[in-house]
Structure 1
Amino acid sequence: MTDLTARLEACYSGAVFDVLRDLGHANCVLPRSIAAIDPDTSVCGRVFTIRGRPDDTVDAHQSLLAWTELLTVVPKDHVAICQPQDDVRALMGELSAEALQSRGVRGYIVDGGSRDNAFIRKLGFPLFARFRSPRDIVAAWVPEAYGEPITIGQVRIATGDWVVADIDGVVIIPEALAETVVAKVEDVMKQENLVRKAILEGMAPKDAYLRFGKF
């Protein structure tokens, strides 16, 4: 685990967004329909991108061979983010999640579906998806690119960017801003703690805001 990952683990998506907004990068939040299958899970780390597409010409063997390659390609200590260009199928299931988890992949975020969600929740593997479906990718879907830029909603995502995902949503941090953003978020959280302490000691919220410049 890199030092930056460890520091991000202490952060939360709201503070990360606030800092990116103030830096002029408010277009950093994935669509609200992409959510954790278990609200208690969160994930952060360096991003590895995947793009794929439906394909009704591929046979079952070819599709499964390509899928198992996908599970092998995602690097350890990364969060995989997938643009499947698919509104029908589950792009993650229990066996696949277990395979990624065993290889040290930190989590998986997909602009598409997932299945075997009860099993994946028991695994504790962080999975963020847009919908649920028992329909899988066999003889119907193939990966077409690894590590290339993708777009989800209005957000462009590149391998090497960073992500913070929790119960509130998914925020992408551009690679060039990562160190700056994390340092600023740490400062924000310190200021918020001062505001919280002041309010709990009886200071009016407005006065706390005026004193610390943060709320």
Structure 2
Amino acid sequence: MTSEMKNRFYNVEPATIGHHLHYGFMDPRIRSMLHDVKIVGTAFTVKTNSNDSTMVHKAVSLAEEDDIIVIDRTGDNKHACVGEMVAYAANSRKVAGVIIDGTCTDIQALREIGLPIFATGLSPITTKLYGISGEVNTMVQCGGVSVQPGDLILADDNGVLVIPKDTDYQYILEKVEGNEEREAESKKMIDSGKTLSSITKADQLIEQFLSQR
């Protein structure tokens, strides 16, 4: 993906993309642990079991600038696999963010580091380094969505969206940018006195519905 296209994705709202895509949106339980964040990057995936975070440490050591580390916790929502040191190491490698289908810890330190972290919540119970299981850069499940290495990730305070790497990004951008231009025009019309239902043609749909009863 070119830097120009990445910037275009950064300047559109994931929620606007939701007008055109019906897949790829992670479950809302995975939410930003910080405030006022937005990240765009490609997925660097890792899978680890309930209490072994060995592969998370390896993934953080391999991830490159602007990668977004996506962690499949294989169902565990009790043990935190990301805390101060993992976030600090990821931030030092200029990783764009971390998304966990599970919990994180050390929230005060995470806020100080400032690396965007998306998780299901917080936990004081941490994983350990056992070296008994895990995978890096394979397909994972996160928030009910299959994620492949290299998939496009957009995440902000509203949630996380995964767009497969074989998607026609240009087509999506043209649709979404058109939507956002029309929204600007709609705001002007509302300011001039028009109702939202007349602008969106909701009035016509209601009339059709009532006529069929």
Coarse TM-score class (shorter-chain normalised):
0.7 to 0.9
Larger Rg: 2
Structure 2 unmatched runs, 5+:
203-213
Indicate the SS of the match to 1:72: helix
Deviations 1:154-200 (A, max 9, x none): 32111111111112111111212233222321121111111112112
Distance 1:144 1:191 in 2: 46
Distance 2:132 2:190 in 1: 54
Partner of 1:9: 10
The 5 Å alignment of 1:44-123 reads 44-54=40-50, 66-85=55-74, 86-123=76-113
1:44–1:165 Cα contact (<8 Å) kept: yes
Indicate the SS of the match to 1:71: helix
The one-letter code of the counterpart of 1:30 is M
Distance 1:141 1:90 in 2: 16
Structure 1 unmatched runs, 5+:
21-25, 57-62
1:51–1:150 Cα contact (<8 Å) kept: yes
1:70–1:143 Cα contact (<8 Å) kept: no
Deviation at 1:140? 5.5
Deviations 1:20-47 (A, max 9, x none): 1xxxxx1321111111012322222111
1:27–1:154 Cα contact (<8 Å) kept: no
Partner of 2:161: 171
Distance 1:91 1:151, change over 3 A: same
Q: Of 130, 135, 149, which aligns to 1:159?
A: 149
Indicate the SS of the match to 1:183: helix
Structure 1 segments of 4+ aligned residues over 3 angstroms from their partners: 139-143
Deviations 1:34-75 (A, max 9, x none): 11012322222111111111367xxxxxx66x5432211112
Distance 1:141 1:126, change over 3 A: farther
2:56–2:81 Cα contact (<8 Å) kept: no
Distance 2:174 2:131 in 1: 41
Q: Of 126, 130, 137, which aligns to 2:127?
A: 137
Distance 2:5 2:43 in 1: 13
State how many pairs are aligned.
199
Partner of 1:185: 176
Indicate the SS of the match to 1:185: helix
The one-letter code of the counterpart of 1:145 is E
Deviations 1:67-114 (A, max 9, x none): 432211112211111102222211211221121112111000000110
Distance 2:131 2:101 in 1: 14
1:55–1:142 Cα contact (<8 Å) kept: no
TM-score of the aligned structures, taking structure 2 as reference length: 0.84
Distance 1:5 1:142, change over 3 A: farther
